[in-house]
Amino acid sequence: MSSNYEMFGAEEGWEHPNVGDLVEVASKSSLKTEVGVVVEPNEYIKNDHLWAQVLLNNGKMKVLPKRELTVIQRGEG
């Protein structure tokens, strides 16, 4: 049985992001990073456990692979 991070194609030590978590998204095209909150997924990805919908601090909504998200702070649940 593979561990949580291997199932998502992430590196060891990676934490699975959940709805309400504050996350950091590293840009592959530049050195800048973006910060956002994981929100309830839209109907197109709600059954796909590898993707997350993130509301970024600039107001944009993005759908990203969960393995590319770094949890900064857990949401209050």
Helix (H) or strand (E) run with residue 25 in it: strand 22-26
What's the whole-model pTM score? 0.83
| Kind and range of the H or E run holding 64 | strand 61-65
Give the residue-averaged pLDDT of 3-14: 81
Using pLDDT thresholds of 50, 70 and 90, give the confidence band for residue 3: low
The model's pLDDT over 11-68, given as tens digits with 9 standing for 90+, comes to: 888 899 999 999 999 877 777 889 999 999 988 887 888 899 999 999 999 999 999 9
Q: Are 36 and 26 in contact (CB under 8 A)?
A: no
Cβ burial of 28 (10 Å; 0-12, 13-18, 19+) is exposed
Which bin fits 62, alpha (ψ -120 to 50), beta or left (φ > 0)? Answer: beta
Determine the pLDDT at residue 21: 97
